[in-house]
Structure 1
Amino acid sequence: MPHSASAHPAPAHAAQPSVEPVIQHPPRKSLNLLSFNIQVGIRTQAYRHYLTRSWQHLLPHRHRNRTLDQIGRLLRQYDLVALQEVDGGSLRSGFVNQVEYLAGAGHFPYWYQQLNRNLGKLAQHSNGVLSRLEPSLVEDHPLPGLIPGRGAILIRLGQGKDALLIIVLHLALGARTQDRQLRFIRELIEDHPHVVLMGDMNNPLEHLLQRPALRGLDLISAEETLHTYPSWQPKHALDHILISPKLELRGAKVLDFSISDHRPIAMEIGLPPNLQYL
């Protein structure tokens, strides 16, 4: 899976090959997904922390890697993780690429960092993907908007007509910009039968699905509303995992894990029976 500190995929980054004998595993039938806005590892458990801990968006904190370790242990339960609000290695993160760090802490062999807003040594605003499965394709897509800095990552698992297409994204706040971004996303996915959209979408599900850009795709999510924000008293459903109707939804939940200001959202899906490669 590529790792990049720019807007373009770079050569693959993977764990070193082991000397253990190759074991033939049965075909994978399901995939455990997680989406998490980690707020660059800042612990936020009350509205006042946006003020009292705001300095951590600019300067390093000695316990930040301890927080990442805690997140990494949680991520070990999942096959593919979408990360938002991660730092790609700047002053505020102690020059630690948080996507790479979480890949190590979560024991993921494949990871990708999408750099969306480059403020040099001050901040490296990024999205990220961690995967236990090697993608057949990774594409980096800046999302349209008046202010640059939002992006989507396209990951394909498998080959051919039954391949699984996963889009990791972090949408803007404004309705007009979101409409433009969702139209862009639709162009990426509308010809594919097996699609997953996952990330911080900054909007309740009912508003998203009513947008013209998503109408007719028949995307589905959990039957119940899954509130993810604010993490200390969730009242708003801003983070979502949406799947195309040909995929089987086996379960979805919000995790009781309130380190960031968002809680992570998880989903298990059944994979297409004819999916090649996994």
Structure 2
Amino acid sequence: MTRADPAPPATERRLRLLSCNILAGASVQRYREYLTRSINAVLPGRNKLDNLDRLAEVLSQFDVIGLQEADAGSLRSGFLNQTRYLAEAAGLPFWSHQPNRPMARLAHSANGLISRIEPHSVLDYPLPSRIPGRGALLVRFGEAREALTVLIAHLSLSAPARAKQLGFIAELLHDYPNAVLMGDLNTDAASPEMRHLFHRSSLQPPAQPTPTFPSWKPRRALDHILTSESVQLEKVWTLPQAFSDHLPLAAEIRLPAHLAPRAQRLRR
């Protein structure tokens, strides 16, 4: 019997990314529901858990997920850490979160990371703003400077605040050549503050806008997955399912194999 030659090691690896503003589990399908469901927004309920369970079924298809407006454990979520809940429900082994805006015990927004791949480090940074409460998670998948670096952020509503925050993000990512910025940036890629980000960093503007807001009739590309020039962005798309007022934004990236960490086996 002749032994077959082993297959050569892969020179490249693909990773699937997802960014999702989950509105603390609330489902909004038209503008008037911001008012008609305002009481439900600060109260827990079975509908929110059902919505998170539907989202968890989708998350299992991705390697690295960035969440915005996940509740860190307050009244509106039934004191549930939603990032942890989603990670466990999706069967993904690694998670971290960054609580940002506590409102007594009623609401506590957070950025969240869920990953199939074990991070080497996760650092959280407050973002500059006149009104505190915005932040970014810096996730490193390896020790070397060239390791994949993912930054998850949720930016302010005002353009001056976003300009400061994006300037801060450009400085954070300056030393990392293989970078991804993902999150709800609350502006489109053609805005002055985003153009300034592209000028000051290696992040590349998207080839075309991918509208994510409002989820029931997407017109504005507020959510982004941006990559540095050295990271090959294969495709970007929105998921058809609406879990909040933003559509989830997905991307597939391609990296040299020595830079792309291997996914962990599912722990049972």
TM-score, L = length of structure 1:
0.87
Question: Which one of 132, 135, 147 corresponds to residue 151 of structure 1?
Answer: 135
Residue in structure 2 matched with residue 43 of structure 1 by the alignment? 27
Q: Per-residue deviation at 1:58? A: 1.4
Residue in structure 1 matched with residue 44 of structure 2 by the alignment? 60
- Percent identity of paired positions between Structure 1 and Structure 2: 44
The one-letter code matched in structure 2 to 1:176 is P
User: How many Å separate the matches in 2 of 1:260 and 1:276?
Assistant: 31
Secondary structure of 1:204's match?
coil
User: How many Å separate the matches in 2 of 1:255 and 1:168?
Assistant: 19
TM-superposition CA deviations, 1:190-242 (whole Å, max 9, x none): 12110000000000111167543431434225422100000000000000000
Matched residue count: 254
Residue in structure 2 matched with residue 7 of structure 1 by the alignment? none
User: How many Å separate the matches in 2 of 1:101 and 1:133?
Assistant: 18
Is the CA contact (8 Å cut-off) linking 2:42 and 2:107 kept in structure 1? yes
Secondary structure of 1:271's match?
strand
User: How many Å separate the matches in 1 of 2:164 and 2:22?
Assistant: 25
Secondary structure of 1:100's match?
helix
Gaps of 5+ in 1: 1-24
User: How many Å separate the matches in 2 of 1:224 and 1:180?
Assistant: 25
User: How many Å separate the matches in 2 of 1:110 and 1:206?
Assistant: 34
Is the CA contact (8 Å cut-off) linking 1:168 and 1:197 kept in structure 2? yes
User: How many Å separate the matches in 2 of 1:209 and 1:173?
Assistant: 12
Residue in structure 2 matched with residue 232 of structure 1 by the alignment? 216
Cα 1:197–1:61 shift into 2, 3 Å? same
User: How many Å separate the matches in 1 of 2:68 and 2:260?
Assistant: 29
Question: Which one of 188, 199, 208 corresponds to residue 215 of structure 1?
Answer: 199
Question: Which one of 174, 182, 198 corresponds to residue 166 of structure 2?
Answer: 182
TM-superposition CA deviations, 1:23-49 (whole Å, max 9, x none): xx9787111000000111111111111
User: How many Å separate the matches in 1 of 2:152 and 2:261?
Assistant: 21
Q: In the alignment, does 2:66 pair up with 1:82?
A: yes
Gaps of 5+ in 2: 1-8, 263-268
Is the CA contact (8 Å cut-off) linking 2:122 and 2:140 kept in structure 1? yes
Please provide the CA RMSD for this pair: 1.8
TM-score, L = length of structure 2:
0.90
Residue in structure 2 matched with residue 242 of structure 1 by the alignment? 226
Residue in structure 1 matched with residue 91 of structure 2 by the alignment? 107
The one-letter code matched in structure 1 to 2:60 is R
Q: In the alignment, does 2:81 pair up with 1:93?
A: no
